[in-house]
Structure 1
Amino acid sequence: MGNSEMATPSRRAGIGMVACLGFGNFAIGTDMFATSALIPGISRSLNASHGSVGLAFSAYSICFAIGALVFGVASRRLPSHLTLTASMALFVFGSLVSMFATSVTILVLARAITAFGTSAYVPMAGIAALRIMPRSHHGRALGIVTAGSSLAMVLGAPLSIYIGSTRAWQTSFFFVAILGTAAIAVLLRARITAVPASVESSRSEVSVVRMAFSLPSVTTLGLSLLAMAASFGSFTYLPILLSDQNWFDAGLMSGIVAGFGLFGVAGIFVGGAMADGRKAQLAVLASLLGMTSSFLMLPFLSKTFMGTLAIAAIWGFSGWALIPVQQYRVVHLPRTDRSFAIALHSATVNAGAFIGTALGATVVDGFGVAWICLMSVLLCALALVTFFPSAAVSKPLSLSSTG
């Protein structure tokens, strides 16, 4: 029996396998969300400016976007287990190189290695989840995988930051390397090797890439790009925005981030369930409206901790809910290669994060941090404008037309 004819795991076993894929995202998310807090310590240790160290971490997003596109095409012909374990091993290696970095140049190289590992793992984890679960559970499967990242914001990143701040910044990267090694062991233990390779590899690479420039694909991905730019653009500079408030301190800021992540987990599962229930477009519209209202109300409600926490809850729920829904919409566009679609969406999310952070820096330096929320509102408005043509041109496939 060929790989493409292998039996699909039972639903219960499939959920367990998908959860193991999510643990890999937990390790990656721990690294991604903790690194910005390490910049001051790394700058002192390497005798470098905050800007140069920050640039090293910005290189991560660029390398991820490039790597996701390359691996997205290659993964169509690669078995899941090989890509998952090799990419996680590369992630661990990059974390160890970061740990022993003695200059900004080595740190940039280390972050590039880490990014290429994650750029292969994150899309393949989504692809494997789609191969494991039936189409009726694709939204929830993508939600479980994505939940690993939001849980990292609540559990993994705070612990990593604590370890790095109480000891040395190198120990934070060592902690991440341990998590990555554990993820490899979990993947092997979960028998991810039983997941068949893609059956969509009969199309040429040129035809697959050409589909990415179709109107449904461009409008759907454009929405994700703008929404992620809006979210990351404000989230990156949130501590600066709140630092003038009387209630603000590092401990309460951790509570805000934890609330953002916890409600993000809830949003992920609700978004995935709505996608499976044929309510993907409603979920997208609700998410964008929720994000827009959060940015509009943040300047007024941030005067108190509870008001800020309420905004973080709405923002986290709405922003994280959008990711599995958009993944679902992209992979179920007509005549779309799912492997490349997942990779392309992952690249788009990271490109949006980079654009939002860069735009945010321009706004903060040129106009002041108080204008950062208006920037995000305008980006959300553009995403809403993009939503209507994307909803019109993208029609979900019937259950009988997909595997």
Structure 2
Amino acid sequence: MNWKVYILAITAFAVGLVELIVGGILPNIAKDLNVSISTAGQLITVFAFIYALSAPLLLSLTAKIERKRLFIISLIIFTLSNLMMYVSPTFPIVMIARIISAMSTSLVIVLSLTIAAKLVEPRYRAKALSYVFIGVSSALVIGVPLGIFVTESFGWRSVFLGIAVLSVLSLVLNIIFLERMPVTEIIPLKTQLKSLADVKILSAQFTTLFMLAGHYMLYAYLTAFLVEAFDLSASWISACYLLFGVSSVSGNALGSWLNDKLGTKKTILFVVASFAIVLLIIPFTIIALPLFLIITVFWGALSWALTPPLQSYLIQIAPKTSDIQQSLNTAALQIGISIGSAVGGIVFAFTSSAIYLSTFGVIFVLAALGCAAISLRNSSASQSTEQHT
């Protein structure tokens, strides 16, 4: 396999840090910028929303630009957005920096996947793409606890200076070693959206959206929850995020294993239903930190366990537009994050407590369960019709 894929994985790691790292340091950002925690939480909401919109739109608008050139430009803009975060004196400017960062991040990640697939022979394509995803998931595991540590030692702005330095290093590596990539045909956005006219596809995408919305009702404000429930120090909060991150990454393996054992449809229903139960339990774990940590393992694992079976399901029901569905599923995921963190911020501001955010999140997860049931029912009906014809 082409060793340059590892450079793309490093790039994905550097860029992937920027989205989730804010969740762990929200109180610090809020205090420094003189805004409420719920207001600071909108930095997550806006990032996810802009990310979801930017990937398909920017790819369509930049379809004629040579891929390496576009990749380098996106990385430069990403670096500048993090430097802007580092020097921003007010919350509005920080928000503008996050918007620019979200737009550039969406392009860098999508182009990393596209370029990785072109660098290798077809038989190594899945492996190459997995390395890029490992870069992103590693950012989830390492990023938040590392961000908390750096914030406590040097201040929250230093986190984004560090990300800028990492992105510069990856920028240099890509400029030196990455070859030019010819422009390939980009599927028009209108064509992508047309596929959502199918009820079973649309409801499957909404399953991801509502699942992530329910998840981020609490996860976006996990630091505030840990301080309120257990009065934890920064080091303990960092440890909790690390435990959650490791559990989340293992969730991919869990989802694949369940998919093999139970089948795609049963796995989807099982994971979503189990996730709703875990969210209901979380408020009752504040009586003891060890109990919360045990539930955190299940929470983290189930939060990512849906991805393998659902993507497998999308390929099964829409084989001709499978690439489009993966792109749209990523957008649905980001919109879910945006909605969950936004609604979570509203509830947090209204109640002045993070303890029962997961309880409200269950409403979204039940909606996800309903969407999954609709999709699976329509899928079964379609297969039954095909068999009779």
Of 169, 179, 184, the match for 2:166: 179
Structure 1 contact 80–192 (Cα < 8 Å) conserved: no
Residue 239 of structure 1, CA deviation: 3.5
Residues of 2 paired with 1:181 and 1:159: CA distance? 19
Match of 1:152 in 2: 139
Residue 101 of structure 1, CA deviation: 1.4
Larger helix share, 1 or 2: 2
Shift in alpha-carbon separation, 1:142–1:389, aligned structure 2, 3 A: farther
Residues of 1 paired with 2:309 and 2:65: CA distance? 26
| Equivalent position amino acid for 1:356 in 2 | G
Residues of 2 paired with 1:282 and 1:182: CA distance? 44
Residue 73 of structure 1, CA deviation: 3.5
Please list, as runs of the form range in 1=range in 2, the aligned pairs for 1:115-194 lying within 5 A after superposition: 115-128=102-115, 138=126, 144-187=131-174, 191=178
Residue 351 of structure 1, CA deviation: 1.1
Q: Which stretch shifts more, 312-321 or 29-38?
A: 29-38
| CA deviation profile, 1:308-367 (whole Å, cap 9, x unmatched) | 2221111111112323544454466233162x4343222221211111112223333445
Match of 1:62 in 2: 49
The secondary structure found in structure 1 opposite 2:306 is: helix
Q: Normalised by the size of structure 2, how large is the TM-score?
A: 0.81
Match of 2:10 in 1: 23
Residues of 1 paired with 2:275 and 2:176: CA distance? 39
Match of 2:298 in 1: 314
| Pair 1:350 & 2:331 matched | no
Shift in alpha-carbon separation, 1:198–1:292, aligned structure 2, 3 A: farther
Residues of 1 paired with 2:132 and 2:270: CA distance? 22
Match of 2:100 in 1: 113
| Pair 1:388 & 2:373 matched | yes
| Equivalent position amino acid for 1:382 in 2 | A
Shift in alpha-carbon separation, 1:352–1:205, aligned structure 2, 3 A: closer
Of 361, 364, 368, the match for 1:376: 361
Match of 1:234 in 2: 218
Structure 1 contact 72–342 (Cα < 8 Å) conserved: no
Tell me, which stretches of 5 or more residues in structure 2 are unaligned? 381-389
Residues of 2 paired with 1:300 and 1:211: CA distance? 42
Match of 1:334 in 2: 319
Residue 259 of structure 1, CA deviation: 0.8
Q: Which stretch shifts more, 183-192 or 260-269?
A: 183-192
Shift in alpha-carbon separation, 1:364–1:145, aligned structure 2, 3 A: same
Q: Which stretch shifts more, 124-133 or 209-218?
A: 124-133
Residues of 1 paired with 2:273 and 2:121: CA distance? 30
| Equivalent position amino acid for 1:378 in 2 | I
Residues of 2 paired with 1:128 and 1:281: CA distance? 32
Q: Normalised by the size of structure 1, how large is the TM-score?
A: 0.78
Please list, as runs of the form range in 1=range in 2, the aligned pairs for 1:185-334 lying within 5 A after superposition: 185-187=172-174, 191=178, 198=184, 201=186, 204-245=188-229, 248-271=232-255, 279-330=263-314, 333-334=318-319
Residue 307 of structure 1, CA deviation: 1.7
- Count of aligned positions: 379
Match of 1:400 in 2: none
Q: CA RMSD in A?
A: 3.7
Q: Which stretch shifts more, 352-361 or 315-324?
A: 315-324
Structure 1 contact 143–269 (Cα < 8 Å) conserved: no
Residues of 2 paired with 1:155 and 1:107: CA distance? 23
| CA deviation profile, 1:24-48 (whole Å, cap 9, x unmatched) | 3322332222224444544555555
The secondary structure found in structure 1 opposite 2:319 is: coil
Tell me, which stretches of 5 or more residues in structure 1 are unaligned? 1-12, 396-403
Residues of 2 paired with 1:392 and 1:334: CA distance? 18
Structure 1 contact 242–302 (Cα < 8 Å) conserved: no
Q: Which stretch shifts more, 342-351 or 142-151?
A: 142-151
Residues of 2 paired with 1:87 and 1:289: CA distance? 39
Match of 1:7 in 2: none
